[in-house]
Amino acid sequence: MKLYGKCRLVYSWILITVFLIPIISCGGNVSTDSAATGTAPSTPIEVSATAMGSMVTIGWESVSGATSYSVYWGTSSGVTTSSETKITGISFAVYTHTGLTNDTTYYYVVTANNSAGESPASSEVSATPEAVTAAAGTGTVLGVAKDTDGNVLDGVTVEIFVDGTFTVSGPSPKPSADGASPRNAALVTTTTGSDGSYTLSGIEVANNYEITYTKSAYVIVYMYDVDVTGNTILYMETVTMVDESSSPGDADGTITNALSGDPESGVTVKFYSNMNNTSGTVQGTTTTDSLGAYSITGLDAGNYTAQISKTDFATSTFSIYIVGESTTSDQNGAIMPGLSSGQTRIILTWGETPYDLDSHLRGPYGDESESEFHIYWVSKTYTYASITYADLDLDDVSSYGPETTTIYNQSTGTYTFCVYDFTNGFSSSSTALANSGAQVNVYQESSLIATYNVPNSGGTEWKVFTLSGTTITPSNEMSYETSDSQVCADEG
């Protein structure tokens, strides 16, 4: 499998020309009513721009019939579609423009596109990013809701609450999901648009928020322990909403050793109600067999957190869902062997498509010169003076992952980690990476220190984070890149 996956680069132009183009679908999660009738979409309305440190988030109301959006921008007022820089291939009604200069005002207009043409430009909006001060200001939470068939869901009510330990002014508190402790009224309430996306803005800096997702005929979803930091955007894991059912259902999957790629037997799997939750009543327990397979039966329809553990491995979690009167398969997880002191391990997982996402790490040379190494599937290991500094321990080319990268000996300087959509690397409009459910978990000394979910923006390259010393800084920048040797490279 690996040999085939990586030999495909040698014949990539033949494969792309002969086989791939007829079967690839790069459409966004939007309706096509206007395109079907031969009319261009209407002008986007309710456009807004919110500045944060070195970035601006532009949002607008979803446009019926749009298959993508374009954002035009400049640093002077009077932006037009003919004279300013254009950002294309945006599949959701929100876009985060990153890498900006603080204290400079940026101006934007938005258009909607389909096969019949491009809409007129929206009204102009502007924002001025400012330098971020530690733990200051407010944060923004972005995400997407889908059904169990992978279709985006509009009209989902999304609310964010504080837990009982964080006091805010407002109406009397009401019970939390388990009914055991009170919570305050929702701080912010919004509704998903036609593309399934939502934005919760102006969230005060705090930990342990709770987000709820409700829609008629679907099981309510509770997301626990959401931490919001100042002047940042938090991209949430895609929420899968399950049809209400009075009948229980089943789930199965495989637990893989994140270092070797082999199925891991003897892993204990515990299931807790709701997402990102490992407290309260255990709803079921099972153990993986000799093939690393687990199965759980008789759980109520809804969302669950699977916690996996084994001696000499780091305990970790992943999300699953249960559909009534059905077995939902391929709900897989990865478990990581323990790390030595000072080591960092990065684990990438995703869904069934795209088939091949690649991990890329750039970092300083062992002699701490100005040069940097770049490890990915072409060159998996960086060694200096017979010492292995970093390694792509595991490369996966057949869906789900995991792909595992380890910094065994960290040098002084900055490391950058990126994810590349090799399957669609030739595309300048693909949204497959955004829709992949990709998630990156970062461990140090066997403890999970950070989790990143892929942003809801088009792109084939996702710059995930930088690491310098013990400081890890989220980047969450999406862009299009056609050459995997240039992934994670500094612009310019």
Encode pLDDT of 150-159 as tens digits: 999 999 999 9
Return the ∠ at Cα 182 (arms to 180 and 185), rounded to 5°: 145
pLDDT attached to residue 202: 87
Q: Which residue has the tokens 């279709």?
A: 151
pTM over 0.85: no
Is the sign of the CA dihedral 59, 64, 70, 71 positive or negative? negative
Backbone angles phi, psi at 412, to 5 degrees: -70, 130
The per-residue pLDDT for range 276-289, each reduced to its tens digit, is 999 999 999 999 99
pLDDT confidence band for 490 (50 / 70 / 90):
confident
Res. 235: pLDDT tops 80? yes
Across 355-413, where does the E strand assignment appear?
357-364, 372-375, 381-384, 387-394, 403-407
In the chain, the largest separation of any two C-alpha atoms, in whole Å, equals 65
Q: Can you say how many angstroms the Cα of residue 113 is from the centroid of all Cα atoms in its chain? A: 24
pLDDT confidence band for 2 (50 / 70 / 90):
very low
Instruction: Tell me how far apart the alpha carbons of residues 366 and 390 are, in angstroms, rounded to a whole number.
Output: 10
pLDDT attached to residue 11: 31
Backbone angles phi, psi at 171, to 5 degrees: -65, 170
Q: Which are the contacts of 205, defined by CB distance < 8 A and separation ≥ 6?
A: 135, 136, 137, 138, 139, 228, 229, 230
DSSP codes joined into one string, 35-54:
HHTT-PPPPP-S-EEEEETT
pLDDT attached to residue 15: 34
DSSP codes joined into one string, 290-353:
TTSEEEEEEEPSEEEEEEEE-TTEE-EEEEEEE-TTSEE----EEEEE---TT-EEEEEE--SS
- Return the minimum-mean-pLDDT range out of 10-24, 236-250, 315-329, 433-447: 10-24
Domains of the chain from N-terminus onward: 33-127 (2.60.40.10), 138-241 (2.60.40.10), 249-334 (2.60.40.10), 339-486 (2.60.60.30)
pLDDT attached to residue 467: 97
Instruction: Tell me how far apart the alpha carbons of residues 390 and 361 are, in angstroms, rounded to a whole number.
Output: 9
The percent of the chain in helix, strand and coil, each rounded to the nearest 5, is 5, 45, 50
pLDDT attached to residue 282: 96
Instruction: Tell me how far apart the alpha carbons of residues 97 and 427 are, in angstroms, rounded to a whole number.
Output: 20
- Return the minimum-mean-pLDDT range out of 24-28, 95-99, 259-263, 464-468: 24-28
Please tell me which of 35-44, 354-363, 472-481 the model is most confident about, judged by mean pLDDT. 354-363
DSSP codes joined into one string, 232-281:
-EEEPPPEEE-B--SS-EEEEEEEEETTT-SB--S-EEEEEESBS---S-
pLDDT attached to residue 14: 31
Phi-psi sector, 249: left (phi>0), alpha (psi -120 to 50), beta: beta
**Kind of pairing between the strands at 327-328 and 249-257:** parallel
Q: Is the Cβ–Cβ distance between 67 and 114 less than 8 Å?
A: yes
pLDDT attached to residue 36: 52
Instruction: Tell me how far apart the alpha carbons of residues 233 and 236 are, in angstroms, rounded to a whole number.
Output: 10
pLDDT attached to residue 194: 84
pLDDT attached to residue 445: 81
Quote the mean pLDDT of the chain: 86
Lookup: tokens for 357: 């996402």
Q: Can you say how many angstroms the Cα of residue 136 is from the centroid of all Cα atoms in its chain? A: 24
Instruction: Tell me how far apart the alpha carbons of residues 41 and 91 are, in angstroms, rounded to a whole number.
Output: 14
The per-residue pLDDT for range 265-323, each reduced to its tens digit, is 999 999 999 999 999 999 999 999 999 999 999 999 999 999 999 999 999 999 999 99
Q: Which residues pair with 138 in a beta bridge?
A: 204
- Return the minimum-mean-pLDDT range out of 82-91, 97-106, 240-249: 82-91
Q: Is the Cβ–Cβ distance between 438 and 335 less than 8 Å?
A: no
Res. 242: pLDDT tops 90? yes
- Write down the H helix ranges in 335-422: none
Lookup: tokens for 196: 């399934």
**Mean pLDDT across the stretch 430-449?**
92
The per-residue pLDDT for range 71-87, each reduced to its tens digit, is 999 999 999 998 778 88
